[in-house]
Structure 1
Amino acid sequence: MAKQAKNLSEVQLRAWLAAGKPVAKSDGDGLTFTLSSAGAAVWVLRYRVGGRRREVTLGRYPDYSLKKARQEAREARVRVSKGVDVAAEKRREKHAGMAAWTVRQLVADYEAKVLSVAAASTRKLYKMYLTNWIVPRLGAMLAVDVSVADVVAMLRASSSRGTGAMRTLHAAARAVFEHARGQAIRPDNPALGIKRSSIAKAEERREGVALEGEVLAKFLRAIPDDVKGWALRLHLITGVRPGELCEAAWAEFDLERGSWSIPAERTKTGSGYVIVLPSQVLDLLRKIAANTPSSAYVFPAARGEDRPIPYQTYRAWLWRALDAAGIPRGSFKPHDLRRTMRSGLASLGVRYEVAERAINHKLPGMAEIYDRNDYAVERAAALRQWADQLDVLGTGTNVVPIKRMA
Structure 2
Amino acid sequence: MCCPRSIMTKSPRVRLTDANIKAAELPPGRKEAVIWDAEVRNFGLRLRENSKTYIVMYRPQGAGRGTNSKRLKIGSPATVPNVKEARNLARAALGRVAAGGDPAAERRATQQRATKSVGAMLERYDAHLARRQYVTRTDVLSLLQRRLEHLKHRDISELRGSDIAQMIERLDAADTGSKGSTFRSRLNAFLNWCTFDARVIDANPLAGYRRRRDTRAERVARTTRGRALSDAEVVAIWSAATPDTAFGRMMRFLILTGCRRNEGARLMWEMVDRKQACVKLPATFTKQARGHTVYIAPALEGVFASCAVDARGPQWVFPSPRTGQPMSGWSKIMDRNNLRGQGSSTQGKLGFVASCGVDFSLHDLRRTFRTGLSRLGIDREIAELALGHAREDLEARYNRDGCEEALRNAFAAWAGHLESAVGAKEHDVFG
User: TM (normalized to structure 1)?
Assistant: 0.59
Report how far residue 315 of structure 1 moved.
3.2
Whole-angstrom distance in 2 between the partners of 1:340 and 1:161: 29
**Which among 312, 334, 354 is matched to residue 362 of structure 2?**
334
**Which among 157, 160, 165 is matched to residue 152 of structure 1?**
165
Whole-angstrom distance in 1 between the partners of 2:243 and 2:195: 54
| Structure 2 counterpart SS, 1:335 | helix
8 Å contact from structure 1 (residues 246, 308) kept in 2? yes
1:373/1:179 CA distance change after superposition, 3 Å: farther
| Structure 1 counterpart SS, 2:293 | strand
One-letter amino acid of the structure 2 residue matched with residue 153 of structure 1: Q
| Structure 2 counterpart SS, 1:195 | coil
Residues 218-250 of structure 1 show CA distances to partners (whole Å, capped at 9, x for unaligned) of 554565463354433222111111112123233
145-154 vs 352-361, greater mean Cα deviation = 145-154
| Structure 2 counterpart SS, 1:392 | helix
1:170 and 2:188 matched:
no
Aligned to 1:54: none
**Which among 392, 408, 411 is matched to residue 383 of structure 1?**
411
Q: Where does 1:263-282 land on structure 2 (aligned, <5 Å)?
A: 263-282=282-301
Aligned to 1:396: 424
8 Å contact from structure 1 (residues 297, 308) kept in 2? yes
1:311/1:402 CA distance change after superposition, 3 Å: farther
Report how far residue 338 of structure 1 moved.
1.8
**Which among 250, 253, 257 is matched to residue 238 of structure 1?**
257
Report how far residue 174 of structure 1 moved.
1.5
| Structure 2 counterpart SS, 1:150 | helix
| Structure 2 counterpart SS, 1:172 | helix
8 Å contact from structure 2 (residues 333, 352) kept in 1? no
8 Å contact from structure 1 (residues 106, 176) kept in 2? no
8 Å contact from structure 1 (residues 246, 311) kept in 2? no
Aligned to 1:307: 325
Whole-angstrom distance in 2 between the partners of 1:215 and 1:159: 31
One-letter amino acid of the structure 1 residue matched with residue 132 of structure 2: V
Whole-angstrom distance in 2 between the partners of 1:177 and 1:393: 49
| Structure 1 counterpart SS, 2:416 | helix
Aligned to 1:179: 193
Report how far residue 314 of structure 1 moved.
5.4
Report how far residue 187 of structure 1 moved.
5.9
Aligned to 1:63: none
Q: Where does 1:4-43 land on structure 2 (aligned, <5 Å)?
A: none
Whole-angstrom distance in 1 between the partners of 2:371 and 2:207: 37
Aligned to 1:85: none
> Matched residue pairs, number?
294
Percent pairwise identity:
20
Q: Where does 1:255-294 land on structure 2 (aligned, <5 Å)?
A: 255-289=274-308, 293-294=310-311
| Structure 2 counterpart SS, 1:237 | helix
Q: Where does 1:36-185 land on structure 2 (aligned, <5 Å)?
A: 110-113=125-128, 116-117=131-132, 119-121=134-136, 123-134=137-148, 136-137=150-151, 140-141=154-155, 143=157, 146-159=159-172, 162=175, 164-180=178-194, 182=196
Higher helix share: 1
- Unmatched 5+ stretches in structure 1: 1-96
- Unmatched 5+ stretches in structure 2: 1-111, 337-349
Residues 318-353 of structure 1 show CA distances to partners (whole Å, capped at 9, x for unaligned) of x8776566x442xx1122112211111111121222
| Structure 1 counterpart SS, 2:178 | helix
8 Å contact from structure 1 (residues 120, 266) kept in 2? yes
| Structure 2 counterpart SS, 1:264 | coil
Report how far residue 300 of structure 1 moved.
2.7
Residues 175-220 of structure 1 show CA distances to partners (whole Å, capped at 9, x for unaligned) of 133335545864666344333689xx97954621211244444554
Whole-angstrom distance in 2 between the partners of 1:176 and 1:225: 39
1:188/1:229 CA distance change after superposition, 3 Å: closer
Whole-angstrom distance in 2 between the partners of 1:324 and 1:154: 33
Report how far residue 273 of structure 1 moved.
2.3
1:103/1:225 CA distance change after superposition, 3 Å: closer
Aligned to 1:361: 389
1:250 and 2:250 matched:
no
Report how far residue 267 of structure 1 moved.
1.9
Whole-angstrom distance in 2 between the partners of 1:176 and 1:348: 43
1:186/1:402 CA distance change after superposition, 3 Å: farther
| Structure 2 counterpart SS, 1:401 | coil
Residues 141-171 of structure 1 show CA distances to partners (whole Å, capped at 9, x for unaligned) of 464x654323213424555764533222211
8 Å contact from structure 2 (residues 159, 205) kept in 1? no
Whole-angstrom distance in 2 between the partners of 1:214 and 1:104: 47
Aligned to 2:372: 344
Report how far residue 384 of structure 1 moved.
0.7
8 Å contact from structure 1 (residues 217, 396) kept in 2? no
Higher normalized contact order (CA 8 Å, seq sep 6+, divided by chain length): 1
User: TM (normalized to structure 2)?
Assistant: 0.56
